[in-house]
Amino acid sequence: MKRVFSLILILILMLGLAAPASAAKAKAAVMRLQLAEGSVTVLDAGGKALTYQKDMRLYSGYTVSTDNAGSAYILLDDTKAVKLDRNTTVTIKKSGRKLQVKVKAGKLFFNVTAPLASNEALEVRTSSMIVGIRGSSGVVSTKQVIFLTGHGVVYYGDSSYALSGGKGFHPQRGVFPAGIQDYPAFALREVRDDSHLQSQIRAEGVYSVDQLIDEIPAAAQRDENERQNAMRGASEPPKSTAPIPAFGTSGSGGDSETFAITWMNGNTVLGVDQVAKGKFPFWSGATPQKASDVGYTYEFNGWEPVIVAAESDATYSASFIATPKTYTITWQDYDGTVIDKTTVPYGEMPSHNPAVREGDGTHTYTFSGWTPALSPVSGDAVYTASYTADAVVHTITWRDYDGTLIDTTTVPYGEIPSHAAPTRAADKENTYSFSGWTPSLAAVTKDTTYTAAYTASAREYTITWKRDDGSVIDTTSVAYGDTPSHAAVSKAGSDTYSYEFIGWDKPLTAVTGNTTYTAEFEKVYDFKAIIPTGSEHVVSFRSEGGRQITTAKAGEEFTFYLSGDIAYVKLNGHTLEKTVHEAKVVDADLKEYTFIVPEDPVIEITVNK
């Protein structure tokens, strides 16, 4: 039958050790394995081995073990700590502000630096004893308990024993005065290293701090001897076979008046006892049980309120230590691959290091959280890693037709790159318009180079056509390399001459730039023959070859024929005989004259009458 904290509270209240009001306001803290040396094993409430980490959090139901060279320092909260000696195994349980440390093997040093509040409790259990601890320090092993400072209560079988600093309890020896030599070396080292504890020891005056510290070498030797004896098979003292009561029966006496003591488990009446006035009631039936639920298992933890000597009818209700159930949390990757499995107590918020997903060449991935959103544990659960995908960025190189670098840009995988159209300066022959990129733009899969392509259009130049006086006849646009052309043009003449278009001032050639062409003309004269009135002579003008014409150009050689007797022939007032050779007779009646046509030729012919 499990008996817990009520007797502790009873006896301490009887001893006048009520906790100060300020302690009642202390906040519960998490339990932590603050420091460990050597090899330390940690098991969760389900028996799963956990990897030790400095300052790791402990939960109700966890077991901590040290090996032959190990030690462990456990903070139960801000004011309560235990240190495990080597070869020690303990299980810790916590329900609200009630703490229990069960020593399964070895020994521990406990140190409570502030008196417990009225609603707090701390007990250390072995297989045969329960030690109720308030504001005190000491050593508990599977063999005995000794108090270094403060006060506490030991329950063994049906009996309870009040202890204070300098007192111990052994199942065979009972209560005994604890000498310096009763303390193991690991506990004395705590005294050496804790100035606050030294001050408390000095204040109580039971021990000399210096003597305790000086005892460390001898204590270490005793510990070694004890360990060797254990290895040779030395046994522990016999354990009591008597059940440990939930409550003591401290004292007897009182009158014969009895009171009804009702024992409750929730809303169920377990029984009603008649207890004599002044006697301490205790429950002798089966240990109360509370069924586990989805979140917790429950272990009987005594009665509430604190049991006191019967002075009136009273009701006591069973209280329980609630140990959170642990559930399996499966952490899997986006593809269903299991990353890890953890066990988390009911009601706790699960957590896990961010998952990592390797890039696949098209995207990189950044962990964004778990799906569904994390929530306090209420059962086995599966969480799947979620990622933010960022497309892999590739470098796009843009070059001009001649290989000159235009620009570089970065474009995410799968997107189609784009760039403003470049321009290409016109040269002498052509102008250029952008026609696209080579190769054709496509979704990005790798670093790529694109080259600008252009459509060439022949460049046109202005051809200016002018008259010989400088006036513009026309302007035309002609593509580079083409030969310009223009229709013949005319020029006004006079009564005696006209102009004949003979071409342009320079040859028409393939266009290479803006060019001006000027028209050229030659005068064409109308021959005028002055023949005396009444003359019957006929003037016949003929060109070379005998073709009869009426016009000629200055500078050309010209021939004309006259019939009849000619006195003389003048050309522009000059007698031809003086400028050209004598006419030669073609026939009897026709004479031939040859001359070079002057400007504005006027031929005056005088004939014989």
pLDDT digits (tens, 9 = 90+) for 452-489: 999 999 899 999 999 999 999 999 999 999 999 999 99
* CATH class of the domain comprising 6-19+29-231: mainly beta
Nearest to 418 by CA among 393, 439, 396: 396
Positions in the chain short of pLDDT 50:
1-28, 234-255, 542-548, 577-588, 607-609
Q: Is 162 left (phi over 0), alpha (psi -120 to 50) or beta?
A: beta
How confident is the model at residue 20, as a pLDDT?
35
- Do 393-458 and 460-524 fold alike per CATH? yes
- Hey, what CATH topology would domain 393-458 get? Immunoglobulin-like (2.60.40)
Nearest to 248 by CA among 485, 555, 13: 13
SS3 134: coil
Number of helices and strands in the chain (H, E): 6, 43
Read off the pLDDT of residues 171-224 as tens digits, 9 standing for 90 and up: 888 899 999 999 999 999 999 999 999 999 999 899 999 999 999 988 888 887
Cβ atoms 525, 496 nearer than 8 A = yes
Residues 299 and 438: their CA atoms lie apart, in Å, by 80
The CATH superfamily of 258-324 is Listeria-Bacteroides repeat domain (2.60.40.4270)
How confident is the model at residue 417, as a pLDDT?
95
- Hey, what CATH topology would domain 460-524 get? Immunoglobulin-like (2.60.40)
Read off the pLDDT of residues 333-379 as tens digits, 9 standing for 90 and up: 999 999 999 999 999 999 999 999 999 888 999 999 999 999 999 99
For tokens 């060449």, name the residue: 361
Residue ranges covered by each domain of the chain: 6-19+29-231, 258-324, 326-391, 393-458, 460-524, 527-607
* CATH class of the domain comprising 326-391: mainly beta
Residues 6+ apart with CB under 8 A from 585: 591, 592
Pairing, β 314-324 against β 258-265: parallel
Is pTM beyond 0.85 here? Answer: no
How confident is the model at residue 593, as a pLDDT?
61
How confident is the model at residue 135, as a pLDDT?
83
Could you tell me the strand order of the sheet in which 159-164 lies?
49-50, 40-43, 63-66, 89-95, 98-105, 121-125, 129-133, 151-156, 159-164
Between the CA of residue 367 and those of 350, 376, 383, what are the distances in Å?
Answer: 17, 21, 13
Residues 6+ apart with CB under 8 A from 211: 180
Could you tell me the strand order of the sheet in which 31-37 lies?
56-58, 31-37, 71-75, 80-84, 107-112, 137-141, 145-149, 167-170, 174-177
Residues 374 and 326: their CA atoms lie apart, in Å, by 16
How confident is the model at residue 560, as a pLDDT?
58
